[in-house]
A and B are shown apart, each in its own frame.
Chain A
Amino acid sequence: MLLSVEDLTLEAGGRRPILRDVALQVRRGEIVGLVGESGSGKSTIARAVLRLLPQGARVSGRVLVGGEDVLTMDDARLRALRASDVSMIYQDPRSSLNPVRRIGDFLTERMILTLGRPAAEARSRAAELLAAVGMRDPERRLRQYPHELSGGMLQRVVIAAALAADPALILADEATSALDVTTQAETLALLRTVQAERGLGMLFITHDLHLASAFCDRVHVLYAGTVVESRPAADLFADPRHPYTAGLLGCTPELGDPRPLRPIPGRPPSLDDLLPGCPFSPRCPHAEAECETWAPRPVAVEGGVAACRLIPVAVQERSPV
């Protein structure tokens, strides 16, 4: 197992934990999706994998990368892990690059300063990587500044930088959300190619359930810091078991689908909402009084788990709709 998150709970000041008993696995060569609304804690999971925790956070559980617990390792090992085992790709490529340093500096910094490669070697490797992510004239790009490149090109640079250390695991945090639709498609294709070529494990974080089902092998749906459903992408899309997953699918329009749009009522919970029972119960169309006190736990369903008290009742009730 490449990445294994076990019972990860993270609190940082709010009235409820940011993450509650999160469990997820990523195997080598597998793309795992992590879907949720903003504030659901999906970025926090990715950052926890690199132990980039919010200030004053209290954590319990384990985050194992290649069998080693990231949360307890010493600082030197942690730096080594960040430098060579795990890479992260961020939402906004423009803010992930230091605006006053050249593209070349950004690409070689990690190779030279953390992996100790000679500068000349790092530079030629950087040019190779830029070519590998489909950028023309890589030598010239290396000398340019971030503001001279478009958002799509910058995201390619960020992907190239992520590949620089030959990591085994890539964390893509909304890696395409800030891009134009066409650029988005190119970037997704590129991610898919480099992932397949190198047999990487990838944690793909997005707020777009459709995108996740199309792109990933397995998908975890996150709500208020809790994984509410976790199943193979195709199953999840065809037959959502948790009412929240169903609600998410119900509120995106689809071509040729006569169903009316059904937005989920209510608002996403904030960190100051105390949620003793199922976190989705205040917005759930099927909620019963007991749901408000039922501590969510995964229930086995076809291909994976879902955390709903009403399974299989919810499924039966939902089918006639």
Chain B
Amino acid sequence: MALRVARKLAGLVATLLATSFIIFGAAYAAPGDPVTFLAGGKENLTPEYLAAVRAQYHLDDPFSVQYGRWLWDALNGDLGRSFQYNDEVLDLLAARLPTTLGLVAYATVLFVVIGVALGVLAAVRGGRTDSTVVAGTTFATSVPPFVAATALISVFGVQLGWFPVAGGGSFTHLTLPAITLALGAVAIISRVTRQAMVEQRELDHVTVARASGLAERLIVVRHVFRGALGPVVTMCGLVSAGMLAGTVTVETVFGLSGIGSLLVGAINTHDFPVTQAVLLLMVVAYITVTTLVELAQPLIDPRARIERSRA
């Protein structure tokens, strides 16, 4: 068990190192002198300004030293200064992270509750309910979030006026963005839930439970759903981990000032330190969450406890 956790954590660190290297090294892949690129690619830069950039990035050191220093600073919370806002990147992130986390948490609650409920409903009811859920989710996965978002704004924001159209801060401001973010996830989760339940329902031990006179409702809760929990939880974890990246689009559409819209702004203004920091944060969060989900597997499925440690 401990060995397994250690191996997983080692893998986590290795992946994080690899991705941080890609994010850092990207600046050097840009055509032209990295100084010009890092300074925002503008033409009329004073030599003093370029020197300042050169000093901040220690561009005169060898590449590996630069990377090591950047990584060390990042680990210590020093993500550099934004050229655009002339502010510490860490402060920028700290100011905007609550909005994004609130949005992701809101959306996660929505998609877990609705997605699982729809999947269970489809599997248990079958027939027309099932077809409707499957058809609805197929359509939901075909609509890109930004289209769904504009549709939601048109209907609920402008026509009905139930929700504010843009801006952030409050719960109602986050409702439409959270629905948009959750839409595709609901589709995925409900399909995974439905499929897992249908598979579980065919298993012998479910028949055994039925043969022992257990009521159908209890069979669904104690056996079918319990058995389907593994894939469902895994998928919920993966989807919510990917959601941080999804905020890029949703925050832009709704004009929320979170880290997603910060990233878009940073790219459009060639603010590379901010771009690097947001990407790093998103990737770290994604990889950490997916690793945690994997580590949580044995809690759901007791078989994983020994099989893994034997492997």
Contact = CB atoms under 8 A, between A and B. Distances in A.
Q: Do A and B come from one complex?
A: yes
Interface of A: 47, 50, 52, 78-84, 87-88, 90, 92, 95-101, 109-110, 113-114, 145, 147-148, 161, 165
Contacts of A113: 214-215, 218
Contacts of B173: none
Interface stretch (B77-85, B180-188, B219-227, B254-262): B219-227
A83 B212 contact: yes
Contacts of A148: 306
Contacts of B127: none
A197 B218 CA distance: 33
Contact of B227 (A50, A100, A109): A100
A90 B223 CA distance: 18
Contact of A114 (B214, B223, B227, B229): B214
A140 to B, nearest CB: 15
A88 B205 CA distance: 12
A97 B210 CA distance: 12
A14 B11 CA distance: 54
Contacts of A114: 212-215
Contacts of A95: 203-205
Contacts of B211: 47, 50, 52, 82, 88
A100 B212 contact: no
A148 B305 CA distance: 11
| Most chain A beta-carbon contacts within 10 A, residue among B211, B301, B302 | B211
Interface in B279-311: 300-303, 306
Contacts of A97: 205, 208
A4 to B, nearest CB: 20
A114 B208 CA distance: 14
Interface string B20-64: 000000000000000000000000000000000000000000000
Interface of B: 203-205, 207-215, 218, 222-223, 226-227, 229-230, 300-303, 306
Contacts, number: 76
A92 B203 CA distance: 12
A95 B300 CA distance: 18
A100 B301 contact: yes
Contacts of B306: 147-148
Given A98-B227, A110-B214, A145 B209 contact: no
In this complex, the member of A52, A99, A100, A165 whose beta carbon has the largest number of chain B beta carbons within 10 angstroms is: A100
A52 B207 contact: yes
Given A79-B213, A80-B213, A109-B214, A88 B301 contact: no
Given A78-B213, A82-B212, A100-B301, 16 more contacts: A83-B214, A84-B213, A95-B205, A96-B205, A97-B208, A98-B223, A99-B205, A99-B227, A99-B302, A100-B226, A100-B300, A109-B212, A110-B212, A110-B214, A145-B303, A147-B303
A90 B213 CA distance: 16
A33 B306 CA distance: 40
A98 B205 contact: yes
Contacts of B218: 113
17 contacts: A47-B211, A52-B207, A52-B210, A78-B213, A82-B213, A98-B223, A99-B205, A99-B302, A100-B301, A100-B303, A109-B212, A109-B222, A110-B214, A114-B213, A147-B306, A148-B306, A165-B212
B215 A109 contact: no
Given A82-B212, A113-B214, A113-B218, A147 B205 contact: no
Contacts of B208: 88, 90, 96-97
B220 to A, nearest CB: 13
Contact of A79 (B215, B222, B230): B215
